[in-house]
Structures are given as C-alpha cells and as structure tokens.
Amino acid sequence: DAGVTQSPTHLIKTRGQQVTLRCSPKSGHDTVSWYQQALGQGPQFIFQYYEEEERQRGNFPDRFSGHQFPNYSSELNVNALLLGDSALYLCASSSTSNEQYFGPGTRLTVT
Amino acid sequence: AQSVSQHNHHVILSEAASLELGCNYSYGGTVNLFWYVQYPGQHLQLLLKYFSGDPLVKGIKGFEAEFIKSKFSFNLRKPSVQWSDTAEYFCAVPNQAGTALIFGKGTTLSVSS
C-alpha cells in the first residue's frame, strides 16, 4: 500500500517564476492538505482540498493556489515566487478521521 | 485562536537518559492532541494521539504522553532514549474547523551514543 507520494523531491526556481508541486494521497483517502515548513519551524497549513474544491485555507496569499483531481491527487501552484517561499512543502492526506498522513515533501529553493 | 507552544527548542541527551518534551496548547473545542516525529531525511510520522479517554497515551517506539487538562499540557515522555530517537518532534492540535493541524515550532532532540 503506497503512502502519500510527492513530486518532485527538490526544485530550484528563480524569483518571479511559477512552480507546480504534485501529491498523490494514500490509498483510500479523499482529502488532501498542503503545508509549508520553513527551516526551523513547524508546518503551516496552506489549504485543504476535498471533492475537488478548496475546503479551507490558511493565512497564505492568493499566489498560492491548488487543484484536486477526480482521482484525489492534488497540485499546489505558487506564482510570482519570492525568496521567502523557500521551504519544504508537505502534502498530507486523510479520510474521515482527523489523522493525517504526510508525504516526504518537496524542497523548494527560490534564488 | 488555537495555538501550540513547545518550550524546548533543542534538547541534547545521552543514550539511556529519560526524556520529557513540553507542549502547551490553547484550544477552544474538543481536545484532540498529536505528537509527530520527523527523523532525519524522512517524512513526518504520527507518534501518538489523544482523542478521549485515558489521559496517558502510549505511542510507537516506547513513547508516551500525558494529557493534563488543568495545565493545558500534553508532554511527551520516554524513559530511556536511544541514538535512533534523534529527530525533530512536533506537537499539534486541530484548527477550529477540525480540518487541519496547527503545529508547534518543534523540538530537536539529539541523542549521543
């Protein structure tokens, strides 16, 4: 049973560029949440997708957007990248329970 | 608003020493509490969770945590740490909607052999 998978593992982008990160949830899970983990900090909630719609959003600007597909996989898009967007981006999936299963993350470096 | 505070930023222990990591929460709803661990180079994993019932919760790898409602605390403990426990530990609570987790800043545990 595959857990949560994310791609790519690492990514280097330049300020002002756009980036797309991908996530496949754990089998049987229909809800995907995205978190940003800056160096030395705990993960911060970006948004959550359920039934292909954004169900809830954390305190992140509109430059951060997402999508969920019919197979429950999800994308996180960040436009107009800033240096401060450099972080580990985590995807977590869940079903009816509160328990969230995390993927290995995508390390984004903005130069 | 919900929040989580972890008191220890970096803890350094020798093998076989006892561990206690502090976590205090501010939470207005039904209390659900989590401890996650992030081993070097690995993904975030659930260590243990409290939803209701016995306030002493046992998790994987010999870890346990005690929910003390009067102190708004959920401290993580292990009687005897091993070198392999070297990791980052995060305490978390659900947000108000119960849809996402609010994490503390984390505690880095370094165990020397």
Average confidence (pLDDT) per 10 residues, chain A, 111 residues: 90 98 95 95 95 94 97 97 97 84 96 97
CA distances from B75 to A32, A63, B105, B113 (A): 28, 37, 15, 24
What was the pLDDT predicted at A3? 92
* Interface probe with B: pick from A89, A100, A106, A107, most Cβ of B within 10 Å: A100
pLDDT-based confidence at B8, cuts 50/70/90? Answer: confident
Q: What is the mean pLDDT of chain B?
A: 92
Give the whole-angstrom CA distance, residue B25 versus residue A99: 18
- pLDDT band, residue B2 (cuts 50/70/90): confident
Give the whole-angstrom CA distance, residue B91 versus residue B98.
16
When scoring A10, A50, A94, A98 by the number of chain B Cβ atoms within 10 A, the one with the most, hence best to mutate, is A98
Tell me which of A92 and B26 has the higher pLDDT: A92
At A77, give phi and psi (nearest 5°).
Answer: -115, 135
CB contact under 8 A, B90 and A43: yes
- Asked if the model's pLDDT at residue B28 lies above 70, the reply is no
d(CA B67, CA B32): 10
Q: Residue B98: its pLDDT value, please? A: 81
pLDDT of residue A98: 65
- Rg (chain B; Cα; Å): 13
Who among A4, A55, A100 is closest to B101 (CB)? A100
3-state secondary structure of B53: coil
| pLDDT level of residue B7 (50, 70, 90 thresholds) | confident
Among candidates B97, B99, B103 on the partner chain, residue whose Cβ is nearest the Cβ of A43: B103
The reply to whether B25 touches chain A by the CB within 8 Å rule is: no
Residue B23 has pLDDT above 80, yes or no: yes
> Using the 8-state DSSP alphabet, how is residue A26 labeled?
P
pLDDT tens per residue, range B38-90: 999 888 999 999 988 899 999 999 999 999 989 999 999 999 999 999 999 99
Measure the N-to-C terminal CA separation of chain B; round to a whole number of Å: 41
Whose tokens are 């160096």? That residue is A39
CB B111 within 8 A of CB B13: yes
A40/B105 CB distance under 8 A: yes
At B95 the pLDDT is: 86
Measure the CA–CA gap between A36 and A90, rounded to whole angstroms: 6
CB–CB of A92/A103 below 8 Å? yes
To the nearest whole Å, the CA of A43 is away from the closest chain B CA by 6
- Helix, strand or coil for residue B75? strand
What is the percent of chain B where pLDDT is above 70?
Answer: 98
Q: Look at the block and give the residue holding tokens 């972890």.
A: B6
Closest partner CB to B105 (pick from A42, A48, A55): A42
Distance (Å, whole) CA A10 – CA B92: 26
pLDDT given for residue A1 in this prediction: 60
